Amino acid sequence: MGANTSSASVMRVSTANVASTWPDRYTPIKLNENAHSPVTPNSIAMPRAAPSQINESAIIELRARLTDIRQLSFSAKPGPYSRTGWAGRGEARVQASDDDDGLRFNESGEFTPAATGVAVAFRNVYRWVLHADRISLWHERFGRDAAVWLFDLVPTTPREMVAAKSHRCGDDRYEARLRVVDEGFDLRWAIAGPRKDETLMYKYRP
């Protein structure tokens, strides 16, 4: 993400396909604000404001899991509008560090593109910054001093968060939805652009 981000770089990150129908309480976001961004079935709906008690519960739920995360599995699947055909699966080890400026995930592992079947090593660094009403996610692929702010995740239920605003990278738009589960949490990305219509699913576990 950031000016040079591609779905491939995020996938040094990952994701699997997830159902794209969301509850009625969400107001869908249109991805065709310009001619380059088609509306796709992978779009993630934007949230309405959640009560303060939901904010607190959701952030407490996620905070309790972040420091315990040790592994990541993920997959990528192209949608009908994709011209990249980006698909595959991967696994990674996660080293979580609770630092003064947030909690970092140092991820390292392998991604295997479906097209080649040849595993490729990857490394990613993400920083989670907790606030009273939201959680900010930063991408530190090029180091702390060149961190890229991705978005703020805001609670919609005690176990679910959605990006308050899409992350824009050139003509591409990235949206995200996080669900806390008993054994960790899942983070789903939806990417749309002139050539992209990908769904990425990360499953973070202890």
CATH number (domain holding residue 126): 2.40.128
Q: Examine the pLDDT at 17 and tell me if it is beyond 70.
A: no
Q: What is the pLDDT of residue 50?
A: 54
Residue 67: pLDDT over 60: yes
Q: Which domain holds residue 60?
A: 7-17+50-205
Averaged pLDDT of the chain: 79
Is the pLDDT score of 25 beyond 50?
no
Judge whether 27 lies within some domain: no
Q: What is the mean pLDDT of residues 51-80?
A: 88
Residue count of the chain: 206
Chain-centre distance for alpha carbon 56: 21
Q: Which of 60-74, 116-130, 165-179 has the lowest mean pLDDT?
A: 165-179
Q: Does pLDDT of 148 surpass 70? A: yes
Number of domains in the chain: 1
Please indicate, yes or no, if residue 1 is contained in any of the structural domains: no
| This prediction's pTM | 0.73
| Whether the Cβ atoms of residue 193 and residue 60 lie closer than 8 Å to each other | no
CA distances in angstroms from 105 to 79, 85, 94, 116, listed in the order given: 28, 28, 6, 28
Is 65 within a domain? Answer: yes
Inside any domain, residue 44: no
**Of 29 and 100, more confident:** 100
Element (H, E) at 162: strand 160-163
pLDDT digits (tens, 9 = 90+) for 163-185: 998 888 888 888 999 999 999 99
Report the C-alpha gap between 90 and 113 in whole angstroms. Answer: 9
